[in-house]
Amino acid sequence: MPPRRPTDSGPAASGTSKIARAKHACRECNARRVKCNVMQCNPCSNCEAAGTQCEVLPSRRGRYNRIQKRQIQSDAPVPTAVSPSVQGGETISVSLPVAQNITSDVEHPQNEDELITGAPTSPSQGTSTTAPATLFYGQSNPLTLIPGSVRQGQQPSSRESLPQQKAQLHFPIHDTPQSASEHDYPANIEHLSAAASRYLQDEGALTLPDMQGCMSTLQAYFTWFHPCFPILDRVEFSRKLAASQASYLLLQCMLFIGAAYCDDANITSMGFSNPAEAKSLLYTRARLLFHADWEKDRLTLIQSLFLLSFWRGGPSDVRDVRYWLGVVIGVAESHGLHRSTRFASSDPSNARIRKRIWWSIYVRERQSAASLGLPSRIRDDDCDVEPLAVSDLETEVTSPDGSQFGSCKPEHVNYAINMVNLAQILGRVVDLHFAPGQQASTPEQLRAVDDALQAWKEGLPEEMNRGVEDGTASVWGYLLHLAYNHLRILIHRHNFIKQDESDSSGQIVVAAATKISRIAEDMLAQGTLRYGQMHSVTSLFAALCIHTISIKQKEHDVSRRIAENRAQMCLLGLQEIQKYWRINNNVLDLFLQYLDVSIAQRLHGASGTLSTANPNSGLLAPGQQPGGDIDENHAGVLESVVLAMRR
């Protein structure tokens, strides 16, 4: 191998002592993404050590035709900006240029914000909240074995040898000819055909409702939904919205969620006739934008997909809760959100939002899987992300109280953290009792998970327990206790079904169901049940089933009447929630269809007229009168509730 020799170019050749800044890298170092010193010596140190040929890559600087930005902006039409200052009474839309009018120069593509606002946007002002784009690979990928350069913000350690180096799981995507792809455009419409652009416009996917109504809906989103699932930074979102830089896909998704908490006047001000129409149209617009690959920012896409998972379609709708949860989990894991933030970014704000997004997905997935009786898509063994902590929400707490979207309260922080812990226990319970082929749980296993649940209960802050017993608690305290009592039912329900209520498990299950119906009554009286989340449906339905079983088990008329009253309260609660969150009526129909004859008579009343009644189930056919000494007024109320829920 020939000896190394100094290069003839650069300051070193001119006799100066100043070391030249490396403006070139050899092909080998560029491919390995390592630092190259080819400007000081040729061959470089890496190629000399590897015994490979050191070939300097030619610079592309100044070797392509540039198009002035002013010329691009003058040729493109300026669409209406998304701004909260828009006056009410008009519809906001985006005018998109057709594909033939968009420049084909991929060196300087316009981003989505420039198309929306008509002004260029720097990377720090765009929709992205992340560091430069990266690719995530787990430890099984051999690429993680290759040592890389020290990442920004990390100090090299001379004592660290190769086997002791911390694994690098996130790899930056460098802007090089080798890594560039003709399809890797920023978040814009240049990759859309003219037909696709026109289709999105015709379907209203690029149309926003009246901005005055939008602001009220967004405020409802941050007031009632965001504390439960803090996937956004409200201060950052407020800044982007004011600067007309908010993602259209994310906006449509947020309006879809916020519409569930709005009254009829607000829905009408946005141009919709009722909440059902508003949610359906907003969901459809967001779905079209997603399938058109509109959004290219990965975190924004994950946030939007998570919100779409709250769409509950019809029985034949493939894109239901589980569909969207599967998509968002796949995208989130491919982005490395399930792994420790020490592998991801040295930016604290980016690490915080990544944790908040992942744990929100985790809670939603655990609740959905337990509710539907389907396998969990997230395995705890695959995740090492740090637990959600108060520090992850500190920017929310310190946000100014005068913000248009409010600020995070201490009870919001307590709710988010404790719900994550409860979701982890929920996963243990499902694995213990309901995994296929799982042997019957031993008393020790049952005691261990029950002790974990009780430790969670004892660790709740005082403000989360205050007022639950006397009916004056906050919405967040009620929601935590609904989930807690539902988990108690799941833990002990096997023993409850096998044995009588004199058994301790039977008493625990009945007490938990009673507590759920009592909380539902208190929230109905306060008018706050509408602000509960979708998972409260699962708690109420579980309590309804337990009370229904108790009606048959009770020997005394008074005890049966009390159980009926509790079942009635659960039905009333489900009816109220259905006004805002769509309930799976198929499950309710099956529940009513296969009731025991005597219980069906008590729940349907003297004038039972359910059109879908199964003659073999004990439900009453039209015009049929039940037997027995049933309180007709009480049963009639139950019947009207059931009929109202099924319409």
Q: What is the DSSP string of 589-600?
A: HHHHHT--HHHH
Both 51 and 137 in a single domain?
A: no
Residue 40 clears pLDDT 90, i.e. is over it: no
pLDDT tens for 379-429 read: 999 999 999 999 998 776 665 555 788 888 999 999 999 999 999 999 999
Both 30 and 124 in a single domain?
A: no
Residue 251 clears pLDDT 90, i.e. is over it: yes
pTM to 2 decimal places: 0.70
Listed residues 361, 393, 425: the one ending a domain: 393
Both 234 and 354 in a single domain?
A: yes
What is the rounded average pLDDT for all residues in the chain? 74
Query: How many separate domains does the chain show?
Result: 3
Both 199 and 53 in a single domain?
A: no
Both 37 and 136 in a single domain?
A: no
pLDDT tier at 434, thresholds 50, 70, 90: confident
Q: Is residue 493 part of a domain?
A: no
Q: Is residue 331 part of a domain?
A: yes
Residue found under tokens 């261990």: 448
Residue 232 clears pLDDT 90, i.e. is over it: yes
User: What's the token pair of residue 119?
Assistant: 């002004």
pLDDT tier at 326, thresholds 50, 70, 90: very high
pLDDT tier at 571, thresholds 50, 70, 90: confident
Query: What's the pLDDT score for residue 76?
Result: 43
pLDDT tens for 588-640 read: 666 766 666 666 566 555 333 333 333 333 333 333 333 333 333 334 434 44
Beta-carbon contacts of 298 under 8 Å, excluding residues fewer than 6 positions away, are 130, 133, 331, 335
What sections of 172-210 are H helices per DSSP?
194-202
Both 126 and 2 in a single domain?
A: no
Query: What's the pLDDT score for residue 181?
Result: 45
Contact 224, 533 (CB under 8 A): no
Rounded mean pLDDT of 267-271? 92
Selected residue with higher pLDDT from 145 and 562: 562
Q: Is residue 418 part of a domain?
A: no
Query: What's the pLDDT score for residue 425?
Result: 97
Most confident of 113-127, 201-215, 410-424: 410-424
Q: End-to-end alpha-carbon separation of the chain, Å?
A: 85
Listed residues 393, 410, 428: the one ending a domain: 393
Q: Is residue 510 part of a domain?
A: no
pLDDT tens for 47-70 read: 887 778 888 876 655 554 554 544
Query: What's the pLDDT score for residue 429?
Result: 93
pLDDT tens for 153-195 read: 444 444 344 344 455 555 555 544 444 444 443 344 566 788 8
What sections of 527-630 are H helices per DSSP?
535-553, 557-578, 585-593, 597-604
Q: Residue 547 belongs to what domain range?
A: 524-646
Q: Is residue 32 part of a domain?
A: yes
Query: What's the pLDDT score for residue 210?
Result: 82
Both 125 and 17 in a single domain?
A: no
Most confident of 154-158, 208-212, 580-584, 588-592: 208-212
Selected residue with higher pLDDT from 474 and 402: 474
User: What's the token pair of residue 58?
Assistant: 């030619």
Q: What one-letter code names the amino acid at 197?
A: S
Residue 39, domain CATH: 4.10.240
Listed residues 393, 427, 462: the one ending a domain: 393
pLDDT tens for 137-150 read: 555 555 555 555 44
Residue 222 clears pLDDT 80, i.e. is over it: yes
